[in-house]
Amino acid sequence: MHEIVDEHTIERILDANEELGRHNRQHFDEAGSLVINLMSAPGAGKTTLLEKTLAPLGNKYRCGVIEGDMVGELDAERLRKIGTSVTQISTGKACHLDAKMVARVLHEQHLNQTDFLFIENVGNLVCPAEFFLGEHLRVVLLSVTEGDDKPVKYPVIFHKCDAVVFTKCDLLPHVSFDLSNAIGHVRALNSRAKIFQLSSVTGSGFDEWISWLTSQLIVHRNKQYQVFAAAQG
């Protein structure tokens, strides 16, 4: 039987997580790292996206990954093979990462040597949306092999994200996924989210994706400089 948790208990859990998430954010900011939380349903292509992203980024920037999976290190090993520093978090029965899990590994990542820190969350379109980890950006992946109504069915995660990445777009001619329909659903929920259409097979869309990431790092560091300058008077 599933344990029933009342609303007040859920609120206390989320409040405690939010507080620890802010503590994580402070560590990230002090380290100068831009932290991106990647979220999606299982099989949408988070690890493949990271493989194709870290190859060009790693030539210029220091990159690290926190890899979240319920069991095993298959995805972590894939990323280590391309020379990326990866810290594994095995969540066991938990279907998402939370701020406490991330806090435990902060010092293992050598954040003072990291420009980009990617957090690959557990494959799930529900729970990860509610748990702030301290990240600066939230990116949701949606594969074209899934339904184009996913934003309608899982509105919270799309409403709270900074970018939506449509993956496996080379398959669009072979599936019934209506891309314009899906984009319309996203826009109805979140007009500010940046939208990307990528194919890891053809490489389409990756130049724009990489450019956006690097621009976000510049924006982040400018904000941190302004905060530092204000503190110095």
Degrees, nearest 5: CA angle 116-118-119: 150
Please, are residues 179 and 166 in contact by the beta-carbon 8 Å criterion? yes
Which pLDDT tens digit goes with each residue over 83-106? Answer: 999 999 999 888 999 999 999 998
Residue 77 has pLDDT above 90, yes or no: yes
Strands across the sheet with 137-143, in order?
85-90, 63-69, 116-120, 34-39, 137-143, 163-167, 194-197
Higher pLDDT, 225 or 98: 98
- Give the mean pLDDT of the chain: 92
Q: Report the helix count and the strand count for the chain, using DSSP H and E.
A: 8, 7
Per-residue pLDDT, 72:
82
Per-residue pLDDT, 75:
92
Mean pLDDT for the stretch of residues 154-162: 97
What's the pTM value of the predicted model, to 2 decimals? 0.93
Per-residue pLDDT, 196:
98
Per-residue pLDDT, 56:
93
Which pLDDT tens digit goes with each residue over 132-147? Answer: 999 999 999 999 999 9
Per-residue pLDDT, 1:
39
2: confidence class by pLDDT, cuts 50, 70, 90 = very low
Per-residue pLDDT, 71:
85
Please, are residues 29 and 224 in contact by the beta-carbon 8 Å criterion? yes
Please tell me the distance from the alpha carbon of residue 119 to that of residue 89, in angstroms, as a whole number.
Answer: 10
Please, are residues 88 and 113 in contact by the beta-carbon 8 Å criterion? no
Mean pLDDT for the stretch of residues 148-176: 97
Percent of the chain whose predicted confidence (pLDDT) is above 90: 78
Query: Is domain 7-227 in CATH 3.40.50.300, yes or no?
Result: yes
Per-residue pLDDT, 5:
61
Per-residue pLDDT, 3:
52
109: confidence class by pLDDT, cuts 50, 70, 90 = low
Per-residue pLDDT, 21:
97
